[in-house]
Structure 1
Amino acid sequence: MAKVTTGTGDAGYTGLLGEQRVPKYDPRPDTFGTVDEATSALGLARAVAQDPHVKAIIFQVQQELYLLMGELATPPENYETMGLRMTIEHVQRLEQVEEELKREVEIPNKFIIPGDTVDGAALDLARTIIRRAERMAVKLLHDNVIQNGEVVRYLNRLSDMIFILARYIEVKSSLAQKPKEMNDPIA
């Protein structure tokens, strides 16, 4: 059985991937903790989503966010041995999903107030957490704590794709709820 409680964090420090320990408020664990929040919010969205395609998209993203968290938890001297890196291919995959979704749903040119559907609202919540994680990752990049700009690009594209996915769900939901048109017979 997995040991959940280790007690090693009781003094306010956490381990990075390798030997290094840092305060829990250090920018690295703060950032990957925020990504973890986003992953959980996406889990809520996946749990309430009805569309199997949407569930699959969310699950793929959740898996990729674990890779991203691993990279954020890896000090630069351990990058090569850990092999946890976000790549241009991860970013391009998000862009491809985004384009596929945009072919199916028109994005209105106005502010969207979340809450039309439970799954759409859950995605919008996840999107805002992803945006916060992106801002934190930008600071890590600008402060030279991380060197891989694909982390920031991934989070940026992800928030866009999640926004579109929420609109996709809402449009599909509204189409499913519309009553069928009654055709009046012509006499």
Structure 2
Amino acid sequence: MKIYTRKGDDGSTGLYGGGRVAKDSAAPEAYGTVDEAQAALGVARAACERGGELDQILVGLERDLWVLMAELATDESNRHKLSAGASLVTTEMVAALEAQIDEISSRFDPPTEFVVPGEDAVAAWLDVARTVVRRAERRSLHAAFKGSQVVPYLNRLSDLVWTLARWREGHSLASRSVPSSVPTAQEP
């Protein structure tokens, strides 16, 4: 079997479960961006300790993103062919992210303002992944089925990835820093 098929040379792509659409239509834009998010999580994973807790969390998230991509790559007329948790995002998957956010957040004091990314290489890669997840969320708004859990999942995923980055940093650099020699608004 060859890796190339030449079927996409006309600007179309095949959908999961059948059918073809233009490569720049809503579904390929959405699942393509989810694919980018998965790759960005993979870069963060490659930079962390293999077999450690963060590695295991990221592997699970990357596997979940295959489920999202399958759902987004399916024409609505074929939705009945999808399988919950394997090719269809479930409310349980969203709830699992919420539980992870709560559990990881309980381990540290989260920052109370915006932070400057880059205190740690892995955290910086997680911040890159978070921004791609946010873009995937925006792109999925026009591609997800009515009642789909794709957008809620991506919304929680970005929150989890932010939480993982802050946890990994241990101490975040605040976005606003006032040097001691610069008077603040309260000083004369």
Length-normalised TM-score, structure 2: 0.85
Measured after TM superposition, the shift of residue 118 of structure 1 is 0.9
Match of 1:61 in 2: 61
2:164 aligned partner: 165
User: Which of residues 97, 102, 127 in structure 2 aligns to 1:99?
Assistant: 102
Q: Distance in 1 between matches of 2:113 and 2:2?
A: 49
Q: SS of 2:3's equivalent?
A: coil
The residue correspondences of 1:81-92 to structure 2 (distance < 5 A) are: 81-83=81-83, 84-92=87-95
Matching of residues 11-160 of structure 1 within 5 Å: 11-50=10-49, 52-83=52-83, 84-141=87-144, 146-160=145-159
Post-superposition CA distance 1:42-79 (Å, at most 9, x none): 00000001271001011000000000000000111212
- Between the aligned partners of 2:43 and 2:165, the Cα distance in structure 1 is 13
Secondary structure, counterpart of 2:170 in structure 1: helix
- How many angstroms does 1:18 deviate by? 2.7
Structure 1 residue ranges, 4+ long, deviating more than 3 angstroms after superposition: none
**Which residue in the other structure is 1:185 paired with?**
none
Structure 2 gap ranges (5+): 172-188
1:107-159 deviations in Å (ceiling 9; x for gaps): 11111111111110110000000001111112335xxxx22331110000000
Q: Aligned letter for 1:58?
A: L
Does the residue aligned with 2:17 lie in a helix, a strand or coil?
Answer: coil
44-53 or 162-171, which moves further after superposition? Answer: 44-53
Deviation of residue 5 (structure 1)? Answer: 1.3
Q: Distance in 2 between matches of 1:53 and 1:119?
A: 13
Q: TM-score, normalised by structure 1?
A: 0.85
Give, as a single letter, the amino acid of the residue that structure 2 aligns with 1:155: L
**Are the equivalent residues in 1 in contact too, given 2:72–2:143 (CA < 8 A)?**
no
Counterpart CA distance in 2 for 1:15 and 1:79 is 15
Deviation for aligned residue 1:6: 1.4
Q: Alpha-carbon deviation of 1:170?
A: 0.8
Q: Identity percentage over the alignment?
A: 41
Q: How far apart are the structure 2 equivalents of 1:82 and 1:149? A: 12
